[in-house]
Structure 1
Amino acid sequence: MKEHLPLWMHDWLGVIVPGAQILLVLLATRLLQMLARRLIHRGVERYDMPPELAMGLRRAVNTLLLVAATLVVLQQLGVSAGVLWGAFTGFATVGAVAFFAAWSVLSNIFCTFLIFITRPFRLYEMIELLENGEKPGLKGKVMDINLLYTTLQEPESGEGGQATSIQVPNSWFFQRGIRRWRGAHTLNH
């Protein structure tokens, strides 16, 4: 086939063919991302999953697809599998060390996913995090849940009667009891 092409194109075949293959890999990755997004959306609607879980699933699937596409593109560019495996094991080792160094942060992130799955409380509900038994603890309206903290707006008790907020580590919700007022949207004492 190379014989039928003009001479000037012979030099460019080494660039055009891998470039076209890389573009096809990127296009296929994008199509798979769109398909995954649609399937996750259907799953959320069909099984009444929380939207926060769907967002996490989309991010995880997109990350996996991008990593796979990056590996295929690197292979097309001539990076050997041995180099990729060496880099992966090196990063995995560093990741394992970082995992143990950041245990409390990872614990809070894991507890965030448990909060979204088990739903011990919801946004804008009034909750109280009990110290032990009936001893009063942290009380407030759930204003935000992020990867590390849940923000509670406390009843008006700050200076000048202003409401204050407190950020509670998500792991605390699995170490203490929770009193929940379902559907309560006010900060009454």
Structure 2
Amino acid sequence: MTYLLDYKGQFIESLILILIYVVLRLVSNKIINSVGKKFAYPRVRINMLSKIINSVLFYLFAGIILFIWGVDQNQIVYYTTSLLAIIGIAFFAQWSIISNITSTVIIYFSHPVKVGDIISVLDKDYHISGKIIDISIFFLTIKTVENEEITMPSNIFMQKMIKKDRSSDKKLK
């Protein structure tokens, strides 16, 4: 019982911080959804932005809670730098990973195609036509007229000429 009394301040601060986190998360999601609807952004993009904002909030508040409980700042710095070093080595060991992530960001924010568009990938060896059904971190998924799902690495997609079908997508529903 004395243990709980010794840490009463940290418990109260942690509970208040968790409450603030939950409120901020709800408010940010509501703002993201309303702005997304106002500017008619695709649901996929709204969800992705919500995930990013929620992750940033989580790590920020987790760090603050660690400080409240008196975790040594040097331990946090060592852990963070070690984790970043491992991630950095993994990324630099595989340039294609970085290339795919970068390509996905470019496709997601700057490329004229989006999820739901009907496209044709103009390639001399493999002609692919279909509807984009997903854009993930490493791949695009295209559903063909034959109801096949084809995944294409994002960096390869960026290197190909793409023809966007402006007609209705009744063919592939």
The bucket for the TM-score relative to the shorter chain is 0.7 to 0.9
1:89-133 Cα offsets, whole Å, 9 max, x none, are 1212112112212432343233333333235334444322112xx
Q: What does residue 24 of structure 2 align with? A: 32
Are 1:179 and 2:171 an aligned pair? no
Q: CA deviation at 1:37?
A: 0.7
1:32-63 deviation digits (Å, cap 9, x = unpaired): 11111112112212333332222121111111
Change (3 A) 1:78 1:181: same
Residue 45 in 1 paired to residue 37 in 2? yes
SS in 2 for 1:121: coil
The alignment status of 1:153 with 2:137, answered yes or no, reads: no
Q: Percent identity?
A: 22
Distance 1:12 1:166, change over 3 A: closer
Residue equivalent to 1:112: 104
Instruction: After superposition, give the CA deviation of every residue in 1:48-95 in whole Å (9 maximum; x if it has no partner).
Output: 333222212111111111111111111122212122112211212112
Distance in 2 separating the partners of 1:11 and 1:113 = 49
Distance verdict in 2 for CA 1:80–1:11, change over 3 Å:
closer
Letter in 2 for 1:142: K
Pair member with larger Rg = 1
Instruction: Please tell me whether the aligned partners of residues 128 and 137 of structure 1 are also in contact (alpha carbons under 8 angstroms).
Output: no
CA distance in structure 2 between the partners assigned to 1:10 and 1:124 by the alignment: 60
Which residue of 1 is the match for residue 127 of structure 2? Answer: 138
Q: How many residues align?
A: 170
Q: SS where residue 102 of structure 2 aligns?
A: helix
The answer on 1:77 being equivalent to 2:69 is: yes
For 2:7, the equivalent position in structure 1 comes to 15
Q: Whole-Å Cα distance in 2 between the matches of residues 11 and 145 of structure 1?
A: 51
What's the TM-score once normalised by structure 1's chain length? 0.77
Q: Distance in 1 between matches of 2:93 and 2:83?
A: 15
Name structure 1 gaps, 5 residues minimum.
Answer: 1-8, 157-162
**Ranges in structure 2 where 5+ consecutive residues have no aligned partner:** none
Structure 2 counterpart of 1:89, from 78, 81, 95:
81
CA distance in 1, matches of 2:157, 2:112: 9
TM, length-normalised to structure 2: 0.83
